[in-house]
Amino acid sequence: MSDTKQQLEKIIADSVLELATADEEGLRNIEVRLLGRKGEVNRVLSAMNGLDAARRAELGAAVNAAKQELEQAIAHRRAALGAELSAELAENDWIDTTEPGTASAAGHKHPTNAAIEKMSALFERIGFRRARYNEAEFDHYAFESLNMPKDHPARDDWETFFLDAPENKKWGKQVMTPHTSNAQGHEMERRRPPIRMVSFGKTYRRQSDVTHLTMFHQFEGLVIDRGINLTHLRGTLDHFAKGYFGADRKTRLRPHHFKFTEPSFEVDISCGLCNGTGWLANDTGQMANGTPCRVCKSGWLELGGAGMVHPNVLRSGGIDPRLFSGFAFGWGVERTMMMAAGMRIPDIRLIYNNDLHFLNQF
């Protein structure tokens, strides 16, 4: 038993000398060699074999005391090493907490998202509720509920993206919605008048040129209530034009034909470059005769479509056209954004080319 105690005392004495000069790696090695599962201290316990209970208890107590002493010595050395490192960092690698930091690179909203937020806010001010409906849509909501017959050109494979999906017996084939007007049928089924909705969403068409994309954004406005007429439509369009484009801009309704509105109109907005005159001003601010506006050439820019909701569309949505009337309007977000003052985007495809040199301008 005395030999075992002497062995433990020698282990402790030798470790004190090693710990005094050990670095972090050496400290880990000493800890494993002395206190590990197969370390020197645990090997001393092998001497317990063959001892009676009293001697085993005495030997166990001695081993536990040695372990505690070694653990304290190792912890003390580790704390000393930490203090030395902190002192070294404070001396050689100090930080001035009052010095301004370096800001990390931050992105910004895509111009289309920023435009949608501004447009949405303008309609919400006059009581419109924001909604969004399906991008993958059934034929019924994309065409039939909007009073489009089976032979309408928009339902041709060369105009609309039809999905390779099972046809629904009630709602028909599935398509990538070619316009946000599909929101009208859904909204009338889900809500009873009065309805005042604006829906933003992605739309898909087989088109690609300087003013068209295969994927672009539209917004659809729908108002249905008793006594709704064209003056309400005109007032809503003027509110949007003045809020989005500027207080001096005006709208014009030009007769057109859409299957889902009657009467139907193309909506024009006065040109911001020539102030709706069709002629450019010279350096003195006077109209320069013979110099037509290079943007509009007539004083007006085409914005989109609008009209009074067709009675058949109301009936399809479960609303009696003898009691209620309404108006709808819808056009492209990107096209509208391109008409804003100062934008001067010559090709709609630039918006989605992921060119940071272009996008960082906005």
Check the CA dihedral 343-302-234-257 and report its sign: negative
What H or E segment, with its residue span, contains residue 321? none
pLDDT confidence of residue 284: 47
pLDDT tier at 360, thresholds 50, 70, 90: confident
216, amino acid identity = F
Q: Count CB-CB contacts under 10 A for residue 203.
A: 23
pLDDT of residue 123 exceeding 90, the answer is yes
122, amino acid identity = L
pLDDT tier at 205, thresholds 50, 70, 90: confident
283, amino acid identity = D
Closest CA to 152 of 298, 260, 304, 241: 260
| Alpha-carbon span 325 to 228, nearest angstrom | 5
199 backbone dihedrals φ, ψ, rounded to 5°? -120, 125
Percentage of the chain exceeding pLDDT 90: 30
| Alpha-carbon span 58 to 60, nearest angstrom | 5
**Predicted TM-score (pTM) above 0.95:** no
| Alpha-carbon span 244 to 177, nearest angstrom | 26
* pLDDT digits 0-9 by tens, 257-292: 888 899 999 998 887 777 777 887 654 445 445 577
Q: What is the mean pLDDT of the chain?
A: 83
Q: Domain ranges in the chain?
A: 2-87, 111-359
pLDDT tier at 321, thresholds 50, 70, 90: very high
pLDDT confidence of residue 304: 86
Q: How confident is the model over 96-117, as a mean pLDDT? A: 85
Closest CA to 178 of 141, 149, 209, 145: 141
Closest CA to 251 of 264, 262, 240, 260: 240
Closest CA to 262 of 219, 213, 309: 309
The DSSP bridge partners found for residue 251 are: 269
- Alpha carbon 192 to its chain centroid, in Å, reads 31
User: Per the CATH hierarchy, to which homologous superfamily does domain 111-359 belong?
Assistant: Bira Bifunctional Protein; Domain 2 (3.30.930.10)
Q: How confident is the model over 232-259, as a mean pLDDT? A: 90
What H or E segment, with its residue span, contains residue 79? helix 53-92
| Burial class, 275, CB count within 10 angstroms (exposed 0-12 / middle 13-18 / buried 19+) | middle
Closest CA to 179 of 124, 221, 232, 127: 221
* pLDDT digits 0-9 by tens, 137-162: 998 898 889 988 777 776 665 578 88
Beta carbons within 8 Å of 198's beta carbon, 6+ residues apart: 119, 120, 123, 124, 128, 129, 130, 131, 219, 220, 221, 222
| Alpha-carbon span 126 to 144, nearest angstrom | 30
Q: How confident is the model over 47-62, as a mean pLDDT? A: 70
pLDDT confidence of residue 126: 94
Least confidently predicted of 6-15, 72-81, 279-288, 299-308: 279-288
Closest CA to 243 of 83, 124, 91: 124
pLDDT of residue 124 exceeding 50, the answer is yes
Least confidently predicted of 19-28, 36-45, 146-155, 196-205: 36-45
